[in-house]
Structure 1
Amino acid sequence: MKDGFRTRMSLLHTWAGLILSGLLFAIFWTGTLSVFDKEIDRWMMPHTRIHMDTARPLSVDREIIPLLAERAEGAKAWTIVLPAERRPFLTLAYDSAKSHIAQRNSFHPITLEPLPAPNTRGASNFIYPFHHNLTLRQNNIGALMVGIASMGMLCLLISGIVIHRRIFADFFTLRLLRGFGRANLDIHNLTGVVLLPFTIVITLSGLMIAHLIYFPKAPDAVFAQLNPPSVTQERPKSKVREASRKREQDVSSENEDEITDAREGSRNSPARSRFIAESQGRVRPQAIGQPANVAAIAPMIAVTESELGQGAVYMIRVSNPGDAGGVVALRLNGDNSVSQNIDNRRFSTATGEELAHFNSSSTTNVFNFIAGMHYIKFKHWPLRWLYFIAGLGACALIATGLLHWTQARNQKQGSTGFNVSFMNAHNIAAITGIISATGAFLVVNRLLNNREQFAGISSRDLEVYAFFGVWLACLLHALIRVFLNKQHGYRKAWAEQCWAIALIAISAVGLNWITTGDHLLKTLFTHTYWPVATLDLVLVTSAVMAIYAARKLSVIRES
């Protein structure tokens, strides 16, 4: 019975891996890059390469509010995102009074000069969303596919524990000089054992934080008989959907709160509104129709930070400015905690009087801690790098699992069958293909150099087209190489795509130098700027590793 159970787990492990590993590699790859999405943004948006150590504290009342009064007249809400180390610029967002379409402007934190519009999605608006919804937002198709893949990953991890008899011995076994097959399997076993806590936690937390996508009617089970809070304001559904669509296109991952607000509105229901208000403290106060001036906001921030510490406030949201019923909500950062901080303080817009505190419940705090482990909002660079390395290790775990299945069959069969040839091409496209596509995304960004459009196509779209176009080209290249020579074509395809990765990576570093003047010697030594220097170093390291792999593959193919 024991042997039968292990055999069934082995079959589950094999088939789940063959079906889902390509998608899982893409999810883990983009998730790993998202650990440093804001740093990649600095590389892709040169005008935001600002040294925060020279910035001064901004006066909300004397400097920021006048900017909003000038630009956001008649808006029903203002959002102010204060500059921070990983987001070194002031951001002002507001809804157009007529169309409810979110407008967004960025300003230099020292001069308050408007920054050029970023004609790129950057990592925050493409790589990060790809990680959790594959950029397939219609009816949450992409998020559902990611959820299915995540459940498959849990099955792979659990079945992997069952079928490996030597799980503790594998922790100390790594035979890199015993041939590719042996070394590949040892890397698979070692990463699977060492990273088991990480992969389980990151996969399970990803499923949990998307629970309202997978179970959209769950709040109805608890709140179906309750009325929504009186402070919640509903907008016409057609306008809400348009606002939600625009926000999800234009709002970066650094403001998930704004994205969440848009998504909540697009599914307006009494039960859901009550659930969001009580669990997350997000309410939309209604205007009462009595004009009033906006009270000084600086004292509100001072009161909050005297209790919670200097710099505790990172976002200020003013609902119904100019109305006596308006509310100023101060949202708190979570830089010093793993737990995602959703607490806020609310004040009257007209009088400055403190209205309410929202402190999340113990149950919500457990959820916030789980979400925080996945979102990685905390400001702790060593831990952030550990996440990045662990993410790369998870990618290696998935890749070596795929290679183990095909390598064993490539060696056994005289002429490779269709299924093995197909998996060879699949593996090449799934691994080197998406790496090449990511590099092409960066290269096109620097070639366009924040141009608004090229040949009538917006630059932000061209970058995405380049990503998927190169990925598709890698798949076609792999299919042609493998099926023209089923026995040895896959090795040639691997080698050629490794050369492509090296060329693309070096091109990205060179183009960054040419278009911005920020070469490695400058960003490392004379005008140190670590976000740009680190990405350039990662690209150079990737090129060196790709060249090494390509040369080794060429030697194997020729021998």
Structure 2
Amino acid sequence: MKQGFRQSMAWLHTWTGLLVSWLLLLIFMGGTASYYRQEISRWMRPELPRSVVAPDVAAANALHFLKTEAPNAEYWNVTLPDARNPSLDMYWMNPAKEGASRRERFGQATIDAATGEKSDVRDTRGGDFFYRLHFDLYYIPVLWARYLVGFCAMFMLVAIITGVITHKKIFKDFFTFRPRKGQRSWLDFHNISAVMALPYHLMITYTGIVTLMVMYLPLSIKAAYPEGADAFYTESFSDLPDAGPAAGTAGTPRAIAALLDSARIEWHGKDVASFKVNHPGDAASVVDVYQRDGRRLSYETPGLRLDANTGQVLARSGSAGGASETRGVMYGLHIARFADAGLRLLFFTSGLLGCLMVASGAVLWGIKERTKHAKSGKVGFGLRLVDALNIGAVAGLPVAFASYFWANRLLPLGLAERPGAEANTFFIMWGLCILAGFLWPRRQMWAWLLYVASALFVLIPVLNAFTTHVHLGVTLRNGDWALAGVDLVTCAIGVVLGYCARRMQRWQPPVSAAEKRRRQVQATQTPAADGGAA
């Protein structure tokens, strides 16, 4: 190597970060929003009832509804309400019919937990859209998307590690910010956003790869389990085994409350999150009951299988081995289901810092290159491309995210494929922003798009007040901080974006040292010239 080790790492840091930065920003923003996907989903379904009932009552009402709606289903799956999600959601799978697709076999419903009546709520993916977006992307096959996201995550991991190696004064960089210094200010901002949440950045990137490790490393499974991958999954994951076949004769099921009580006794008082009834009404019917997360770090959820007719415990989810438990904990760290309100806010804030780190890194590259091109007086294609993509991603993605919330409120409630229309709105707006960046990759376009994003975010609470009955005046009075928080946070994001837009509009490039000397010389010569003329 002609360069030193640190200089080589700086080159690697630059290119591994830049090449995937725009897609990585989408992934980071989607993942960060996912920390509050339950709250976003509630906000996007304002018609949801706010009934608070005991879990056993909700479970009984769910089964009463399912017996009427899907009596011949192969199974029923019910998710009970909790503090973050008061809705009673369920889905089921109907018997296979000739010519029917797998998707057509499934049904789903949301009902009022207190009355058992079906809730007439708008069709939307809600916060789940952001959750799926950050690893499944959209419009492309899921398998390709996950490989692409894994590729970006690997580049991100390399960029983080090489960034640590490159900065020999990493702790000093943490406390250094030089405002109004052009490139230096962007570098300081990039360093601060990276170092402030460095443990989080490393954790979230590495654990993101671990969550899909089975897909990324299939050959190792084939080598260790030549008889097939099923043996690997049986040994590696502590799930309940598949339910046996139906008996074909009617059974006499016990009350669901008694079965849930049996599970609570087995778990020493821990509550139930969901349950699945296999072969409803059959003599061989079994009920799989799953424990609520609580403070457990691991993603793996303890389960219990009960005979639906006798209440006898038939199976328990196995205890995970060391490797499986490690993977479960890493998965759990990534999605943070264990986090309480304070810790969830910390995760969310760290995610925002990650977004700022990625965005500032991409912008910093453009500023550095522009300084180099200024000497030659020419701007190359690569710099024009990066400038346009930076505008489209850094300024355009906030427009797209805000537009998704607006689409939820403005699209007709009876619109066919409404969730798809909401997602299409997101990508249409993002595409228009990218197009604007290519048509006019100038500083003024940065300001315009940031102003648009600011207005869209700030006006979300106003839009909510005009289109629903669960606006801030109601949610604040009732102490419903989950719904009020969405309005308040979107408004706060809009204010910050507005400040950035104003700074961008008024920004003037810093004067170089040579230009300062030239102006000083000119200033000293001007009085002398005036005196000679006099």
Normalised-by-shorter TM-score class: 0.7 to 0.9
Match of 1:500 in 2: 452
Say whether residues 1:111 and 2:115 are aligned partners. Answer: yes
Instruction: State the alpha-carbon separation in 2 of the partners of residues 214 and 171 from structure 1.
Output: 35
Q: Which moved more, 1:15-24 or 1:411-420?
A: 411-420
Secondary structure of 2:440's aligned partner: helix
Question: Which residues in structure 2 correspond to 1:44-443 (within 5 Å)?
Answer: 44-48=44-48, 50-51=49-50, 54-59=52-57, 62-99=60-97, 101-124=105-128, 126-136=129-139, 138=141, 140-175=143-178, 177-216=179-218, 218-225=220-227, 270-271=230-231, 274-275=234-235, 279-310=238-269, 312-363=271-322, 364-412=324-372, 413=374, 414-443=377-406
Instruction: State the alpha-carbon separation in 2 of the partners of residues 376 and 25 from structure 1.
Output: 20
Please report the TM-score for the alignment, with normalisation by the length of structure 2: 0.88
Instruction: State the alpha-carbon separation in 2 of the partners of residues 476 and 335 from structure 1.
Output: 46
Cα deviation code 1:187-219 (max 9, x no counterpart): 211222232211111111111111222234654
Q: Which moved more, 1:543-552 or 1:126-135?
A: 543-552
**Does the 8 Å contact 2:17/2:361 carry over to 1?**
yes
Instruction: State the alpha-carbon separation in 1 of the partners of residues 366 and 478 from structure 2.
Output: 48
Aligned length: 500
Instruction: State the alpha-carbon separation in 2 of the partners of residues 448 and 98 from structure 1.
Output: 34
Post-superposition shift, 1:440?
0.7
Secondary structure of 1:59's aligned partner: helix
Greater C-alpha radius of gyration: 2
Q: Which moved more, 1:281-290 or 1:378-387?
A: 281-290
- Alignment gaps of 5+ in structure 1: 227-268, 483-488
Question: What code does the residue aligned with 1:138 have?
Answer: P
Cα deviation code 1:272-330 (max 9, x no counterpart): 66457x54334232223343222233222112213435452111111122333322111
Instruction: State the alpha-carbon separation in 1 of the partners of residues 500 and 177 from structure 2.
Output: 19
Match of 1:40 in 2: 40
Match of 1:529 in 2: 480
Say whether residues 1:5 and 2:13 are aligned partners. Answer: no
Instruction: State the alpha-carbon separation in 1 of the partners of residues 248 and 232 from structure 2.
Output: 27
Distance 1:558 1:512, change over 3 A: farther
Secondary structure of 1:331's aligned partner: strand
Question: What code does the residue aligned with 1:522 have?
Answer: V
**Does the 8 Å contact 1:498/1:550 carry over to 2?**
yes
Instruction: State the alpha-carbon separation in 2 of the partners of residues 390 and 551 from structure 1.
Output: 25
Question: What code does the residue aligned with 2:466 have?
Answer: I
Instruction: State the alpha-carbon separation in 1 of the partners of residues 331 and 490 from structure 2.
Output: 30
Instruction: State the alpha-carbon separation in 2 of the partners of residues 95 and 306 from structure 1.
Output: 30
Instruction: State the alpha-carbon separation in 2 of the partners of residues 223 and 281 from structure 1.
Output: 21
Post-superposition shift, 1:22?
0.8
Cα deviation code 1:4-40 (max 9, x no counterpart): 3222212211111221111111111100000001111
Post-superposition shift, 1:98?
3.2
Match of 2:531 in 1: none
Instruction: State the alpha-carbon separation in 2 of the partners of residues 112 and 309 from structure 1.
Output: 29
**Does the 8 Å contact 2:58/2:80 carry over to 1?**
no
**Does the 8 Å contact 1:136/1:142 carry over to 2?**
no
- Alignment gaps of 5+ in structure 2: 511-534
Cα deviation code 1:35-68 (max 9, x no counterpart): 00111111111112x446x434443675332222
Identity of aligned residues (%): 30
**Does the 8 Å contact 1:288/1:324 carry over to 2?**
yes
Instruction: State the alpha-carbon separation in 1 of the partners of residues 111 and 456 from structure 2.
Output: 32
**Does the 8 Å contact 1:502/1:546 carry over to 2?**
yes
Which of residues 414, 430, 441 is equivalent to 1:452? 414
Instruction: State the alpha-carbon separation in 2 of the partners of residues 129 and 493 from structure 1.
Output: 30
Question: Which residues in structure 2 correspond to 1:463-542 (within 5 Å)?
Answer: 463-482=422-441, 489=442, 491-524=443-476, 526-542=477-493
Instruction: State the alpha-carbon separation in 2 of the partners of residues 300 and 119 from structure 1.
Output: 32
Post-superposition shift, 1:351?
1.8
Post-superposition shift, 1:499?
0.8
Cα deviation code 1:237-279 (max 9, x no counterpart): xxxxxxxxxxxxxxxxxxxxxxxxxxxxxxxx74466457x54
Distance 1:157 1:493, change over 3 A: same
**Does the 8 Å contact 2:55/2:80 carry over to 1?**
no
Secondary structure of 1:111's aligned partner: coil
Post-superposition shift, 1:366?
1.9
Match of 1:549 in 2: 500
Instruction: State the alpha-carbon separation in 2 of the partners of residues 507 and 17 from structure 1.
Output: 34
Distance 1:439 1:62, change over 3 A: closer
Secondary structure of 1:499's aligned partner: helix
Distance 1:441 1:139, change over 3 A: closer
Q: Which moved more, 1:515-524 or 1:19-28?
A: 515-524
Instruction: State the alpha-carbon separation in 2 of the partners of residues 105 and 213 from structure 1.
Output: 31
Post-superposition shift, 1:117?
4.4
Question: What code does the residue aligned with 2:348 have?
Answer: F
Secondary structure of 2:72's aligned partner: coil
Distance 1:92 1:459, change over 3 A: closer
Please report the TM-score for the alignment, with normalisation by the length of structure 1: 0.84
Post-superposition shift, 1:376?
1.4
Cα deviation code 1:69-127 (max 9, x no counterpart): 11121111111211111221112221112346221111112222211243212121x11
Instruction: State the alpha-carbon separation in 2 of the partners of residues 430 and 178 from structure 1.
Output: 24
How big is the alpha-carbon RMSD for the aligned residues of Structure 1 and Structure 2? Answer: 2.3
Cα deviation code 1:403-456 (max 9, x no counterpart): 11111233441443221121111111111111110111111111126x121xxx
